[in-house]
Amino acid sequence: MIPPFEKPIYVTRPFLPPFEEFCRGLQDIWDSRWLTNDGPVLKRFTRDLCSFFETENICLFNNGTLALQIALQGMGISGEVITTPYTFVATTHALFWNKIRPVFVDIEPYHYTLDPDKVEAAITPWTTAILAVHVYGHPCKLNALADIARRHNLRLIYDAAHAFGVKVGGRPIGHYGDLSMFSFHSTKLFHSVEGGMLLFREAGLRGLFDYLKNFGFKNEVEVVMPGTNAKMNEVQALMGIQNLKYLGQTIEKRKAISAVYRKRLAEIPGIHMAPELPAAVQYNYAYFPVEVDEQEFGMSRDALYDKLKEWNVYTRRYFYPLICDYPCYRSIPVNGSLPVARRVAGRILTLPIYDGLALNDVETICDILLGLHQSMRMQSAQAAMPALAAVGR
């Protein structure tokens, strides 16, 4: 019998830079007394990110949700937008806050991103854009979506909240599509406590985004549009600058964790992992999703999710329920039954992965899963015994 972990193991735990290092940065902020409003630390963070993403076209925000809302508003997106039901609610909320109608289209079964084969049938005269999500940091079908967007004259927007650090064909993933939103929330691979970023193709959008995130102020006496307040502050920017230095190292640790899971879970019936990404993708190992097949594993996803808590292991069901099943979106008509998204939402479980998670603990989590599968198989064999006796054995 494997004893429970002494301390809870959560699905993630935020990375933090060395405390001393952060304090040194804070001292500069104290000395300058410049806490927000485009201060020197934010400027420096912006420069660091420009070189990281190999572009000048980025704009920072206090969180990813407001960044996406402002992106949609600034780009003038209206009418209907084709999107995925298999994501975090903020993707859809950003549409709703812009009075845009979400049109939910099914996902593909391997990496769970929007299925391009089903997008075209959902296009109507009111469609203005596609809002796809690089869910778990898995890149969407970039070429197929770009092709559809071009042929139908739609804007192509990516919710890249999970995809910081991902590259495709050597290019940062934010270079695909018209615009990408990144979230720097504490639960994400890379964070600035809270924060968000837009990366966009048209340089002209920057002015608009800068107005919209700062009340529409052009200067002290001119307000040129009814903006909101979505600025990133200096302390957030400091956390971002310091965490960015450790990104390579945190990705390497996650990669090692992922490798242990891949090796060990391959031997457990009923635990299905997403296939390895194509060689052109440089992945960030942001999440480790598995699908639980109740028949093969011997226990349902929900039963397993609860059972693991007995070992102090707290997994998450990202993404269950589907967005279109939440009470606030249930009344939106959906074309078809979204069979893939529905099946995946019923089976998905995201396992703990973060840089401070010891490989030994990952092995133990795998041992627990294997043990549970074996004990369920034993139980069902025992349950079958009386039936065997009845047929004369």
Ligand X SMILES: *Cc1c(COP(=O)(O)O)cnc(C)c1O
Contact residues toward ligand X (CB under 6 A) are 63-65, 87-88, 90-91, 133, 159, 161-162, 183, 185, 196
Q: How far is the CB of 134 from ligand X (least distance, A)?
A: 8
Sequence-ordered list of residues with C-beta below 8 angstroms from that of 82, at least 6 positions apart, any chain: 103, 105, 114, 119, 122, 123, 127, 129, 130, 131, 154
Q: Are 292 and 270 in contact (CB under 8 A)?
A: yes
Q: How far is the CB of 348 from ligand X (least distance, A)?
A: 14
Pick 189 or 366: Cβ nearer ligand X: 189
Q: How far is the CB of 36 from ligand X (least distance, A)?
A: 17
Pick 176 or 311: Cβ nearer ligand X: 176
Q: Which of 222, 219, 347, 211 is nearest to 292 (CA)?
A: 347
Q: How far is the CB of 390 from ligand X (least distance, A)?
A: 52
Pick 172 or 298: Cβ nearer ligand X: 172
Q: Nearest residue to ligand X, using CB?
A: 64
Pick 161 or 268: Cβ nearer ligand X: 161
Q: How many residues does the chain have?
A: 393
Pick 133 or 205: Cβ nearer ligand X: 133
Alpha carbon distance 189, 97 (integer Å): 26
Mapped onto helix, strand or coil, the DSSP state of residue 344 is helix
Q: How far is the CB of 159 from ligand X (least distance, A)?
A: 5
Q: Are 272 and 293 in contact (CB under 8 A)?
A: yes
DSSP letter assigned to residue 227: -
Pick 145 or 268: Cβ nearer ligand X: 145
- Mode of pairing for the β-strands spanning 288-292 and 348-351: antiparallel
Q: How far is the CB of 13 from ligand X (least distance, A)?
A: 16
Q: Are 345 and 321 in contact (CB under 8 A)?
A: yes
